[in-house]
Structure 1
Amino acid sequence: MSLSRKSSIASKAEHFEVEEVPPRDATLEKFALLKDKTEDELKAVEKSLVRKLDWKFLPMVTAMLLMNYLDRINVSNARLAGMQRDCHMTDVQWSAGISLFYVGYIISQVPANIMVAKGKPQYLMPCFMLSWSAVTISMTALNSVWGFMLCRFLVGVTEGPFIPAVSLMTSSWYTKSESPLRMSIWHAGNVVSNIISGLLAAAVLQNMDGIRGLASWRWFVLIEGAVSIAIGIAAFWFMPNFPSSTGTYFMSAEEAEMAQYRQEVNAGGISEDDEGGHWEGVRLALKEPFTWLFASSHFFIIIGQSFKDFLPSIMNTFGFSKTNTYLLQAPPYVFAYLLTIGISWSSGRRLEHCWHMVFAMALCLVGAVIMISTLSLGPRYFSLFLLCGGPFVALNLQISWETAVVPRPRTKRAALIAIANCVSSVSHWFTPYFFLRSQEPRYQTGGGVIVAGCGLAIISCIVTRWWCMKKNKEIEKRENETGETNAWRFVT
């Protein structure tokens, strides 16, 4: 984003020069600490602001999201170490417990994200983390089906608000061109959690069984919950609020004004601060066509990612030892992380989302076809790289896209993010039933569902792009009719 506001055209008139000065930046004039600065001074303030965000906010939310995902998926590896057996669960009961997580997850998202939009994320987000960490630690005492189901439901309720809140925060501090890469960095918490979960499982589940009378899977959830609590406590000192409400504990007064200025320019001169009550944004989001376009693409992307909770079980069909089964989960997710960083950087640089997402979901579709069409070890393992990479890339760009085209008011953006995430989470109520052990090793039904999800996600992305282009043509038509200039355009 250019902050340049000075240029001159000099012309000679007899013995002196007349300097023509263009109109001053009306948005910049609102900010007393910035309006008289030179272009170089403004760039220096902006650089300092982004550096603080990149080195304080971004690492903290990445660590928090790592634990968010780790606490969510820990049961997948714990299952291989006897959790399902010790809690006396059938396959159907296990899948029901996995589904119940998403019941709680869906219930909490919209109200919690509106509360974050109107409140103080500096306190709310660490509190969310401490809550799900406490529930995770309590899973150490599980010994029944109903206890497992209750804990998974409560973990869902307490984790549900977090990803929508981080998405909202990122879009409030970074510009449209910066968001895709930054979101890919904190999305690394999702990818890295899968790597760490496999490595931690190899270390804990294979070596701590029976220590102090506890099964290894109980040590597994206990250690993860304790680390999560430590990070949640540290987060109180690293989380900002919003640009207009963050104190000098996080940044200087000049940087705070720069953050507000950047967001106004990013939104075509409209302030992020909301007017109206808590539920006004929900009403606006429900009436917004973009909400349902993004909800549909999000839903199909998550269907394409439905293998994730069962990856350890899929890997187990390869016939490796337990330790190698845990360790070999890591490389596909390393690939997914590198792919997400690269494609997200390209998306932000070009301000283009649709075709980047189409490419990613096409990779996942190919991976699913390979998984269900061969029993050859090499191609099947290669398919996991494509399966892991595609949806992670597409999901990251999906969130960046939806926050870019519906920037204001903040509660509307918060509601849109949460609604889209809620709709997508409904898929978790039925996709676990497509990966039953009776279909090992091919998982034909699960693979077929992934193929369908990828194809529909591609169609949904293209339809959303068409709608953005239609809205841009409407803006250009109004400009031609009225003569008024509107710098805002919907990114595709």
Structure 2
Amino acid sequence: MVSNGVARSYDQQMEEEEPLLTSNKNGSEDCFSQASLLMQEEVTSRDASLSSDGDAEFGGPEARKALEKRLLLKLDLRMSILIIIYILNYIDRNNASAARLRGFERDLGLHGTEFATILSILYVGYIIMQVPSNMFLNYVGKPSIYLPICMTIWGVISILTGITHNFVGALLTRFFLGFVEAAFFPGALFLLSKWYKRSELSLRTAILSCGSLLSNAFGALIASGILDTMEGKLGNAAWRWLFFIEGAMTVFVAICALFILPDFPETSSNWLSPQEIALAKKRMTEDTGMEDQEDAHLLDSKDDNKGLLGFLSKESGLYLAFTDWKVWWMALALTSMVVSLSFNAFFPTLSATMGFDRTRTLLLCAPPWIFATIVALFNSRHSDLTGERCWHIVVPLIVGLIGFVIAMSTMNIAARYVSLFLMAQSYAGFICFLAWISNTFARPPSKRAVALALVNAFSQLGNVAGSYVWPSGWGPTYRFSYAICISTNGLAIIMCFIFRQHLTFLNKRAAEKEEETGRRQFKYIL
């Protein structure tokens, strides 16, 4: 397709040559035909060479491929630290469930629903902070500093959880833990969306999200080792050591992340060449037909008010996100999905219903999440290759629904353990849904930042509700809990199908407009 620059050049040339052609209209018809033919050939030649001309600054198509491969390798290596951060993010978030097996409730004197309240209060902090955090991150453009600082703070708060002695102390540390942890996940998704094309994003999102899946697997193994060996050391209960050690690990990794995490393409000159930066920006423009920046009328300022105008553009992103019903539809769908996935925080408890001792119960938690990681990677890779999202979300959710039905139907040990595998793999659909959010709200970046944070923040209501879905009184069968999961899972599936149909309609309308105007239109990934 001819770019806007080429199209304008061609239009200008036509305007300049029109008087000449008009003045000679009484001349030879053959001459006129020859002139028209030459102009058509020129445009055809431009079309044919447009791709190579666009890559000229990189040394041609072949040189660009090599440069792009090198750029992606550098990116993937630096982004890999996000996986470790997410593992620790989930470990620090969910270690209370493991501590519950070794006296956490007893030592703090918890009764009734107080433990569930301690779990759910974390997500209140998430809800409050996610949108402001992503807006601030988009404004400052320095994730390499902002995210590690937040990580250091939540690591310290996790350590402080180990010195609490009552319900109020645990409640406060958990609230502020969620308040600070809220910066990471939407911030990481936004960072990925600034570097990777839509066809690359699902796999990278899956690799990142595998941090949460692996944390369920290896977090249980780490917890098992600490809880079995640290009881009574220096006069502290083993569950207190769990918070001390895992919090210290978080602080250490945060310090390392300061030197590894990249910033955005426009602020990454310290580790990329000018040519690589230019290619990084060009890739994102080619992916959607628009530059990955704010509206020109908000950013095109050379005076001292540019910072203020930049801030106003973030407000514009806030307005665009809050007034787009698609954001709220995806938020509701994800919230419903999160309720159905609430078994995650109670996985050791569900594993314990099979009747094994504490150590074996924690060890049995690992295989289902390792299996879920493999399924998520395969599912996301296939989603990127096919350019399809909806079915790659729905199919894992349906398989998870089968797992819920099995778990609520029998107390057979083998069947219940198989159900844990089926339930865990449903996270593959959840992960693909996260990529769908970034794909759907591609531009401007301020809207994408707010949309990612808003959908994730709203979905934390599902975690708050999910904290009360698994009361001890409903065990060991937890039939009512599984029934709730089946209902919310089914609702999420229906909402995904309806959303897909709407995006199909929007794509048809965009195709019609593209045919009328000759200009490339944004197309949604289905």
**Pairwise TM-score range, normalised by the shorter structure:** over 0.9
Task: Summarize the alignment of residues 283-298 of structure 1 with structure 2, pairs less than 5 Å apart.
Answer: 283-298=319-334
> Alignment partner of 1:177: what SS?
helix
- TM-score normalised by structure 2 residue count: 0.86
Residue in 1 aligned with 2:276?
255
Is 2:341 aligned against 1:305?
yes
Deviation at 1:478, TM superposition (A): 1.6
Helix, strand or coil at the partner of 1:21: helix
Partner residue of 2:519? 485
How far apart, CA to CA, are the structure 2 residues paired with 1:251 and 1:273?
Answer: 23
State whether residues 155 and 251 of structure 2, in contact with CA within 8 Å, keep that contact through their aligned partners in structure 1.
Answer: yes
Tell me the residue number matched to 1:71.
92
Alpha-carbon distance, 1:26 to partner: 9.0
Structure 1 residues 36 and 433, CA, compared in 2 at 3 Å: closer, same or farther? closer
Alpha carbons 2:474, 2:481 under 8 Å: kept: no
| Alignment match, 1:178 | 200
Matches within 5 A, 1:109-148: 109-119=130-140, 120-148=142-170
Task: Give yes or no for contact 2:333–2:492 (8 Å, CA) kept in 1.
Answer: yes
From 488, 500, 503, the equivalent of 1:465 is 500
If the length of structure 1 is used for normalisation, what is the TM-score? 0.92
1:36 to 1:312, Cα distance in 2 relative to 1, 3 A: closer
Equivalents in 2 of 1:83, 1:412: separation in Å?
42
Give the match's secondary structure for 1:244: helix
Partners of 2:409 and 2:294 lie apart in 1 by: 53
Tell me the distance in 1 between the aligned counterparts of 2:156 and 2:469: 31
Structure 1 pair 202/28, CA: closer, same or farther in 2 (3 Å)?
Answer: farther
| Alignment-derived partner of residue 226 in structure 1 | 248
* Residue pair 1:184, 1:341 contacting (<8 A) in 2 also: yes
TM-superposed deviation, 1:395: 1.7
Show structure 2 runs of 5+ residues with no match.
1-40, 299-309
> Pairwise mapping of residues 2-13 of structure 1 onto structure 2 (< 5 A)?
none
| CA distance, structure 2, for counterparts of residue 99 and residue 487 of structure 1 | 43
Find the partner of 1:98 among 119, 126, 138.
Answer: 119
Q: What does residue 108 of structure 1 align with?
A: 129
Aligned-residue sequence identity (percent) comes to 31
Choose the corresponding residue for 1:359, options 395, 398, 411: 395
Q: 1:180, 1:348 within 8 Å by CA — same for their partners in 2?
A: yes
1:427 to 450, 462, 479: 462
Q: Deviations over 1:446-468 (max 9, x none)?
A: 10111011101101111111111
RMSD over equivalenced CA pairs, Å: 1.7
Question: Deviating runs (4+, > 4 A) in structure 1?
Answer: 24-29
Q: Indicate if the aligned counterparts of 1:116 and 1:124 stay in contact, CA closer than 8 A.
A: yes
Give the conservation status (yes or no) of the 8 Å contact 1:431–1:446: no
Point out where structure 1 has 5 or more consecutive residues left out of the alignment: 1-17
2:25 alignment partner in structure 1? none
d(CA) in 2 for partners of 1:244, 1:316: 50
State the shift of 1:293 in Å: 2.0
Query: Could you tell me how far apart the structure 1 residues matched to 2:487 and 2:222 are?
Result: 33
Residue 343 of structure 1 aligns with an amino acid whose one-letter code is N
Find the aligned partners of 1:273 and 1:245 in 2 and give their Cα distance: 15
- For the pair shown, the structure with the greater C-alpha radius of gyration is 2
Q: Render the CA deviation track for 1:21-52: whole Å, top value 9, x for unaligned.
A: 324649986x9xx6362111111111111000
Kindly indicate whether the alpha-carbon contact (under 8 Å) linking 1:301 and 1:457 is maintained by their aligned counterparts in 2.
yes
1:319-334 to 2 correspondences below 5 Å: 319-334=355-370
Q: How does 1:320-399 map to 2 (within 5 A)?
A: 320-390=356-426, 392-399=427-434
Equivalence for 2:303: none
Match of 2:483 in 1: 448
Equivalent residues, number: 468
Structure in which a larger fraction of residues adopt helix? 2
User: Against the structure 1 CA distance between its residues 255 and 350, is the aligned structure 2 distance closer, same or farther, given a 3 Å change threshold?
Assistant: same
Q: C-alpha separation between the residues in 2 aligned to 1:207 and 1:137?
A: 18
Shift of 1:281: 0.6
Is 2:215 the counterpart of 1:193? yes
